[in-house]
Amino acid sequence: MPHPKTVENMIKCAGPVECALLPSLIHVTEAAAIAASYQMGKGNKNYADQVSVEAMRRMMNTLDFKGVIKIGEGERDEAPMLFIGEEVGTGKGDIVVDIAVDPLEGTNLTADGIPGSISVMAMAEPGGLFHGPDVYMDKIVVGPDVVRYEKEHPDEKIDLDAPIIKNLEIVAKALERDIGEIVVVILERDRHKNMIEEIRATGARVNLVSDGDLMPGVSTAIRGSGIHVVMGSGGSGEAVLTAAAIKILGGKVLARLVLPTVANGGSEEEIAEEKAEKMPRLATMGITEDNINDILDTDKLVPGTDFIFAASGVTSGQFLNQVNLFGGGNARVHSICMGSSGVVKLTDSIYIGDKEQTPLRL
Ligand code: VTB
Ligand code: MG
Ligand code: MG
């Protein structure tokens, strides 16, 4: 990699999407995060979700672009807003984008006031995001050190189908530490019972989370986060959003679609029923019985080259604090906002609603 000769080489945009929309993106996730944070710990996850969806949509619709929700709150008939196919933005200007949103990733976490919930989204040039159907993805996420190690050792690659011990050995070697020092995040679900046992059998440390495997995935690419691997099946939208961040930060995601009934050990009848319901829609996305089991890598999940990602903390997390509210409409919110040119902004935003109750403190 040549050293940048000028700062102009360093500070640039990947393309029109990043140039036009990166500065505004955190306003969208922060609006959603602040709205959700007022519902923290109130035990009503649906309402927390609703207010964050509304705030995200309202803020997005003030921005000049033509956007289509590709990963959203569900199909049009089940989600009133930010449904798949909804057009957003003012429609003014030349910027056209595909959008992935999760206005409140971790609704239970917010409702219970426990760590790990965020507002998150990505935008890319049309076709830039894999818009999988509403099924799970089996996945493994690792950070940039592992990718470097794989390049140096072409026979040792992370593989979704490899025994867990093999994958964790590679991660441990890449990070120059013992397996016993590796931390694997996985959703605490019955479907992961065997996988959790297998991880434990390697000696690796396990961080079970009740919800929210997206930000832990991003954290694998951030030194000091204390997270090295994310495994298991979770939402496919979450996997694509993770991949957008990982494609910017380095690291890799391997994923494969899996029907929820299959992941959760459903009966043959239930599996057949779900297939009958989902396969026709999957077919419209080019997904058939023949290729549904293909492994998707980071570039397949996010084929785009001009894309942006933002996440704002709602409750506290690995590196995003919870929203602080100070009275008078004053709020403080932490975000990470990134562009595919290779820029990461870690921001600490203070919104002053009432100057007499300044929320500004060091
Ligand atoms: C997954 C995970 C998310 O919800 O989608 C999970 O990726 C839902 O899984 O981070 P279950 O159907 O097993 O509950 C989250 O944890 C939160 O949106
Ligand atoms: Mg959601
Ligand atoms: Mg979610």
pLDDT tens per residue, range 241-294: 999 999 999 999 999 999 888 888 999 999 999 888 888 888 888 888 899 999
Distance CA 303, CA 233 (A): 21
**Residue 240 in contact with ligand 1 by CB distance below 6 A:** no
**Closest ligand to 264 CA?**
1
pLDDT tens per residue, range 22-72: 999 999 999 999 999 999 999 999 999 999 999 999 999 999 999 999 999
CA 46 to ligand 3 centroid distance, Å: 12
CA 141 to ligand 2 centroid distance, Å: 21
**Residue 234 in contact with ligand 1 by CB distance below 6 A:** yes
Residue 4 has pLDDT above 80, yes or no: no
Q: Are 302 and 261 in contact (CB under 8 A)?
A: no
pLDDT tens per residue, range 285-334: 888 889 999 999 999 999 999 999 999 999 999 889 999 998 888 999 99
ipTM tops the 0.90 cut: yes
Q: What three-state secondary structure class fits 82? A: coil
Q: What per-residue confidence (pLDDT) applies to 1?
A: 57
Q: Provide the percentage of residues in the chain whose pLDDT is more than 90.
A: 81
Q: DSSP label at 38?
A: T
In this prediction, residue 5 has a pLDDT band, given cuts at 50, 70 and 90, of: low
Give CB contacts under 8 A, 24+ apart, made by 290-293: 292/257, 293/256, 293/257
Residue nearest to atom 2 of ligand 1 (CA): 234
**Residue 112 in contact with ligand 1 by CB distance below 6 A:** no
Domain ranges of the chain: 7-126+304-351, 136-301
Burial of residue 269, with CB atoms counted within 10 A of its CB: 0-12 exposed, 13-18 middle, 19 or more buried: exposed
> Does the domain spanning 136-301 belong to CATH 3.40.1190.20?
no
CA 14 to ligand 1 centroid distance, Å: 31
**Residue 238 in contact with ligand 1 by CB distance below 6 A:** yes
**Residue 132 in contact with ligand 1 by CB distance below 6 A:** no
Residues 190-219: what's their mean pLDDT? 98
Distance CA 39, CA 42 (A): 6
**Mean pLDDT score of the chain:** 94
CA 108 to ligand 1 centroid distance, Å: 10
Atom index in ligand 1 nearest the CA of residue 187 equals 16
Residues 133-148: what's their mean pLDDT? 94
**Residue 106 in contact with ligand 1 by CB distance below 6 A:** yes
What count of residues does the chain have?
Answer: 362
Q: How far apart are the first and last CA of the chain?
A: 38
Q: What per-residue confidence (pLDDT) applies to 15?
A: 95
Residue nearest to atom 5 of ligand 1 (CA): 235
Residue 94 has pLDDT above 90, yes or no: yes
CB-based burial, 63-90: b 16+ in 10 Å, e otherwise: bebbbbbbbbbeeeeeeebbbbebebbe
**Residue 205 in contact with ligand 1 by CB distance below 6 A:** no
Strand partners, 185: 207, 230
Q: DSSP label at 340?
A: T
Q: DSSP label at 239?
A: H
Residues 79-92: what's their mean pLDDT? 95
**Residue 105 in contact with ligand 1 by CB distance below 6 A:** yes
> Does the domain spanning 7-126+304-351 belong to CATH 3.30.540.10?
yes
Mutate to test the pocket of ligand 1, among 121, 193, 213, 261 (most ligand atoms within 8 A of CB): 213
Q: What per-residue confidence (pLDDT) applies to 2?
A: 57
Atom index in ligand 1 nearest the CA of residue 105 equals 18
CA 243 to ligand 2 centroid distance, Å: 17
Q: Are 261 and 218 in contact (CB under 8 A)?
A: no
Atom index in ligand 1 nearest the CA of residue 212 equals 10
CA 74 to ligand 2 centroid distance, Å: 9
Least confident of 85-99, 195-209, 231-245, 252-266: 252-266
How many Cβ atoms are within 10 Å of 325's Cβ, its own excluded? 17
Q: What three-state secondary structure class fits 88? A: strand
Q: What per-residue confidence (pLDDT) applies to 285?
A: 80
The residue written with tokens 């989902």 in the block is 278
The tokens of 144 are what?
């940039």
Model's pTM, two decimal places?
Answer: 0.96
Atom index in ligand 1 nearest the CA of residue 263 equals 13
Residue 129 has pLDDT above 80, yes or no: yes
Residue nearest to atom 9 of ligand 1 (CA): 234
Closest CA to 103 of 54, 70, 64: 54
Distance CA 237, CA 219 (A): 17
**Residue 279, CA distances (Å) to 271, 283, 336 in order:** 11, 6, 36
Q: What per-residue confidence (pLDDT) applies to 131?
A: 85
Closest CA to 121 of 26, 232, 36: 26
The tokens of 360 are what?
């500004």
Residues 148-165: what's their mean pLDDT? 97
**Residue 66 in contact with ligand 1 by CB distance below 6 A:** no
Distance CA 86, CA 68 (A): 6
**Residue 235 in contact with ligand 1 by CB distance below 6 A:** yes
Q: DSSP label at 356?
A: G
